[in-house]
Amino acid sequence: MWIPGFGRYTPREGNRVGDKAPDFTLTDHTGSAVRLHDQIGDLPVVLVFYPRASSPICTRQMCSLRDGWAELGRRARVFGLSYDGVEALRRFHDQDRLSITLLADPDRIAARAYGVNGLFAAARVTFVIGTDGRIAAVITDIDAGNHAGQILKTL
């Protein structure tokens, strides 16, 4: 169910399966800059857009990734993206002992590029980017409690 003010995936040239993944540079939960295209290489890259750090459903979703990390971390580079600032992401990461790198997108740079931006929050959508730098899959029907399994199945 879509909630007004939250993003919803809008497929368009540049963010669809087969398109070259839009590049961006964002700050991670430790304060370091992360450029997407520097991450592309020997493993697929997974971008997990989610609405809000520490909210109940988002926590369940990110904890699913943490709990599936043994396999997921071997098969892909995984990043969680939200509009939250670095401090909120750092607290979220530490409090829930998350394994993935969280990226702050308060200016909605990545969310706009991937067509998931909304007024208050990004859509809950995951993009899998192949080692060739192209979008290999888009997961729009997220099962928060089994998101790691959904990603692994897609990989």
List, by residue number, the catalytic residues: 58
Q: Which of 140, 145, 138, 129 is nearest to 38 (CA)?
A: 129
Burial of 133 (0-12, 13-18, 19+ CB in 10 A): middle
Integer angstrom CA distances of residue 77 from 67, 69, 155: 15, 11, 11
Nearest to 123, CA basis, from 20, 6, 13, 14 = 6
